[in-house]
Structure 1
Amino acid sequence: MISNLKTNFEASLIPWVEDIARKNDSSGHALYIMKDGKPVLEHYGGYHSFEPASQEVKATSRFNIASARKSYIALVVAYALYDRLLELDRPLDDYTEESNPVFSGVSIRHLLTHTHGIGEGGEGLYKEFTPGENWSYNNIGVDTLAHLVMEMYGVTISSFLQERIFNQLEWVETGWMTEPSPELVKIIGNKGEKPLNGLHSDCDGTKKNLFVSAREFAWWGQLHLDKGRVGNQQIIPEEVVNLATTIQTPSGLPYDLPRNGAFWYVQDIPRKKSEIGDDVPAGSYQILGVTGPTILVIPKYQIVAVKMYNKRYNYGGANYLHFLKEYSNRVADACT
């Protein structure tokens, strides 16, 4: 069974991942798939950048996961909900001393599910739509909640996760990076331009300087699939994981729009503007970043599928949803 599954993944996903890397000028890529808590496919290709003498991508290579870091911040927010520091349907104004009129009517649920209706332009924040009546992806919800929970717990996002999870699991290939290191894969902008290092001077966990190896990224997905349990140890309370990975989107959202848990995209039924393909079973969830890293978790098949790239706007253009759906469909179809 496992050997057949590996063959299916190799035939369907490796050529596809490599083709996307060529088309989008990603210098490096990786693919890591787990079934029933065990790796079944591990594939690495390309280099850390297009620079001369750049290192080959290998198991220890760490990619900048960009907005996929939201899944890490989401877990801390889920902890705050579990600890009753936050309530999903209470307004943000209840938790802040300085009230901004643009946040009027915005709840914690709205911030978690991209339904808050706040946009950001040249003159600052503005009301884009009534909270809970539409969906729009931006960083306002994640930034607002990240700073709120850090204030509540009195520690940074990165410190919280390091103490409660990373140290316990002895993960050494996951972290917010401030200094160059040989294992860090660079970020490709336009081909021919100097690559970006993806570093930031701040390592509090709110910035886009989280670097993770493909295998630890997959184990992050597996930790969610196993409801926070590793062996005989409950690393994370099960309810915390459920809060993060089950649909929290307000009811009544238009049919075509995505449904979210705590920032994760969650499948219920196929939806036109969702990033998850129509063939993926209900209950599955996915998160991704602008440089191409993606975790797809399919509980029905006990699958965690990770792909990594290092190209900004990896699926650039109006048709980017097609490629995201195609990836998740290929993973799901290979399981059947």
Structure 2
Amino acid sequence: MKLKKKVDNQFSPVELHVRNTSNTVDCSGAGVMVIRNDRIVSEAYWGKHSKASDARPIQEDSQFHVASVRKSYIGFAAAYAIHNGYIHSIDDEIAKYLPNINTDLFAKTTIRHLLTHTHGLHTAEGNIIREFPPGQSWAYRDISIEILTQLIHHSTGKTVSEILKEQVFNSLSFHETGWYDEQSEKLVEVIREPADRFWSMDKGEDGNKKNMYVSTRELAYWGYLHLKQGCIDGKQVVAKEIIQQATSLQSPVLINKDLPQNGFLWFVKDLPAKKTEIGELVPKGSFQILGYTSVAVLVVPKHDIVAVRMFNSFGSPPGYDYLADIRAFGDTVMKCV
């Protein structure tokens, strides 16, 4: 997959915003890309793969650790499993597909709850506990991803990575997207505090680990696949229904209307919500996902836009408000339209 490039100054404020963020967070390099009307209209890279003096410059094939952005790929695998009948319904209880789990603890917890962060499960001192009844509130906890990937594997007989390679990566010739156990020259080093409690040295290429790296261009193309609802160059590469289900509002009706809203792990713009990560100017029907490295992809169907930013900074330095910054990123994109 390769889009034509026609860069102009219209989206230069987006690049400037990303450059300003790269000067705020602790990173050694960054990238930005905007696609509009089937053309790459902005693309820039700066810095190096690490802080070493002889480090490789950031470039088109540089692959950044995408952290929680990987969840959009897991959401795709879940939508694939439902579309193809491996999972009967998003509202099925997870115990139906994972019969050996604690049925008392997981009672009434559905696949919808896992996909929308409304499951109410948490881990404490190595044990799974319940924070709130399923569907009653919202909390961002990785335990849901562990359960969801197990459920997908158990129901389909395939790993998340196998599903993605079969359905997307091979057909679109994605060679700069994947899960990696070993460092290589194309992988950008993650700048982090050695004792950061959120960092994981996960290994494994089955798609459920926190070791996913993607180039700026291929993350933008991933967003573009969703923008076009699976139709690329006139060919329906992925079933339209898979994309529609993954990127439409799936959150249950919550008592607190200001909590974030999700599709299949994507954050979606629907009703007004004070705690959303999506900018105020970004229109309804848009969707976005953000990682702990401040990597993000925003898709705005109303204006035929995909915007991606890439950094190699893990976590937030003192004084950096990542939610305010990611909202400003989206609002900057919209001010360029």
Give the TM-score of the pair, scaled to structure 2.
0.92
Name the CA distance, whole Å, in 2 between partners of 1:287 and 1:37.
Answer: 21
In 2, are the aligned partners of 1:176 and 1:210 still within 8 Å (CA)?
Answer: yes
Matched, 1:237 2:209: no
- Note the C-alpha offset of 1:97: 1.5
C-alpha deviations, 1:221-247, integer Å up to 9, x for none? Answer: 000010011112111100000110000
Cα deviation, residue 320, structure 1: 2.5
**May I ask how many residue pairs the two structures share in their alignment?**
328
After the TM superposition, list the runs of 4 or more consecutive aligned residues in structure 1 that deviate by more than 2 angstroms: 3-6, 197-201, 314-320
Amino acid at match of 2:218: E
In 2, distance between residues paired with 1:130 and 1:152? 25
Alignment of 1:250-265 (within 5 A): 250-265=252-267
> Which amino acid in structure 2 is aligned with residue 125 of structure 1?
I
Q: TM-score, normalised by structure 1?
A: 0.93
Amino acid at match of 1:268: D
CA shift, 1:5, in A, is: 8.9
Residue 17 in 1 paired to residue 18 in 2?
Answer: yes
- Give the aligned partner of residue 230 of structure 2: 228
Q: Please report how far the alpha carbon of residue 317 of structure 1 lies from its aligned counterpart in structure 2 after TM superposition.
A: 6.2
Identity among equivalent positions (%) equals 37
- Decide whether the 8 Å contact of 2:31 with 2:44 is kept in 1: yes
Alpha-carbon distance change, 328 to 50 in structure 1, aligned in 2, over 3 angstroms: same
Aligned residue in 2 for 1:59: 60
* Conserved 8 A contact 1:218-1:295: yes
User: Is residue 248–residue 262 contact of structure 1 (8 Å, CA) maintained in 2?
Assistant: yes
Give the counterpart of 2:189 among 186, 194, 197. Answer: 186
Partner of 2:119: 116
Q: How far apart in 2 are the matches of 1:316 and 1:303?
A: 32
Query: Deviation string for 1:203-230 (max 9, x for gaps)?
Result: 1101111111100000000000100111
Counterpart code for 2:276: S
State the distance in 2 between where 1:150 and 1:82 align.
Answer: 15
The DSSP-based 3-state class of the residue aligned with 1:272 is coil
CA distance in 2, matches of 1:317, 1:130: 34
2:300 corresponds to which letter in structure 1?
Answer: I
Distance 1:6 1:248 in 2: 37
Q: Which residue of 2 aligns with 1:140?
A: 143
In structure 1, distance between residues paired with 2:8 and 2:285: 23
Aligned to 1:174: 177
Match of 1:31 in 2: 32
Cα deviations by residue, 1:62-109 (Å, 9 ceiling, x for unpaired): 101011000111101001111222211111112222131221121111
Q: 2:153 aligns with which of 150, 154, 164?
A: 150
Aligned match of 1:47 = 48
Question: Shift in Å at residue 119 of structure 1?
Answer: 1.3
Match of 1:95 in 2: 97
- Could you say what secondary structure the match of 2:325 adopts? helix
Indicate the residue corresponding to 1:325 in structure 2: 327
Maintained 8 Å contact 1:64/1:198: no
Instruction: State how far apart, in whole Å, the 2-side matches of 1:48 and 1:127 are.
Output: 40
CA deviation string 1:153-196 (max 9, x = no partner): 212211221122111111111111122211110100149x9xxx
By how many angstroms is 1:304 displaced? 0.2
Query: CA 1:99 to 1:159, structure 2 compared with 1: closer, same or farther past 3 Å?
Result: closer
C-alpha separation in 2, matches of 1:287 and 1:133: 23
Q: Which residue of 2 aligns with 1:105?
A: 108
- Whether contact under 8 Å (2:98, 2:154) holds in the other structure is no
Residue 210 of structure 1: aligned partner: 212
Is this contact kept in 1: 2:31–2:216, CA < 8 A?
A: yes
Return the structure number with greater helix share.
1
Query: Alpha-carbon deviation of 1:8?
Result: 3.1
Gaps of 5+ in 1: none
Please give the alpha-carbon distance, in whole angstroms, between the structure 2 residues aligned to 1:230 and 1:253: 40
Distance 2:248 2:234 in 1: 24
Residue from 311, 314, 318 that aligns with 2:313: 311
Note the aligned Cα RMSD (angstroms): 2.1
Equivalent residue, structure 2, for 1:159: 162
Specify the code of the residue in structure 1 equivalent to 2:93.
P
For residues 33-75 of structure 1, the C-alpha deviation after alignment (integer angstroms, 9 at most, x for no partner) is 0001210000101110101201110111110101100011110
Please report how far the alpha carbon of residue 4 of structure 1 lies from its aligned counterpart in structure 2 after TM superposition.
Answer: 11
Q: Is the 2:35–2:307 Cα contact (8 Å) retained in structure 1?
A: yes
Task: Report the secondary structure of 2:10's partner residue.
Answer: helix
User: What does the per-residue CA deviation read over 1:225-279, in whole Å, with 9 as the maximum and x for residues that have no partner?
Assistant: 1001111211110000011000000023411111100000000133111100111
